[in-house]
Amino acid sequence: MDEASINLWAVLAAVVVKQALGFLWYTPVLFGRTFAEASGQSEEEMRPRMPKALLADVAGAVAMALAVAHLASYAGVADALFGALVGLICWAGFVAPGTLSPSLFERRPIRLWALQNGYLALGLAAMGAILGGWR
């Protein structure tokens, strides 16, 4: 297998954009209240766990960006649109099915799954667009 061509600045930008998207996604402006209601938690209950959750999300975003960057490189992606498609394929093939079964088993509301996966689908598409377009 050929060595992947990875632009680390694009990886960093993809991580930053995903984090910014998450910040906006989970504010009351968009879906913060819906998330709190669907998860059965108040802001006060979530606040103490926020630093650990954010750290995990940043680490996960780095892993996702590196994985999408490798896949985009191996697929010969040379533009943002194809890169976004690679990100969406990663979501549809790995993230969505991998999170649906546990959500159903744990009896979480399906709208909580949809809310979280909407963020992940959009985040992966944005990451793919950055990684595919910034060669």
pLDDT digits (tens, 9 = 90+) for 61-81: 999 999 999 999 999 999 999
Which residues have a Cβ under 8 Å from the Cβ of 80 and sit 6 or more positions away? 129, 130, 132, 133
What pLDDT shows up at residue 4?
79
Q: What is the pLDDT of residues 38-64, one digit of tens each?
A: 999 988 888 999 999 999 999 999 999
Per-residue pLDDT at 2 exceeds 70: no
Two tokens, residue 56: 């995990």
Comparing 3 with 128, the larger pLDDT belongs to 128
Provide the pLDDT for residue 5. 87
Tens digit of pLDDT for each residue in 78-131?
A: 999 999 999 999 999 999 999 999 999 999 999 999 999 999 999 999 999 999
pLDDT for 43 equals: 83
Q: Which tokens in the block code for residue 14? A: 């993809």
pLDDT score, position 3: 75
- Is pTM beyond 0.85? Reply is yes
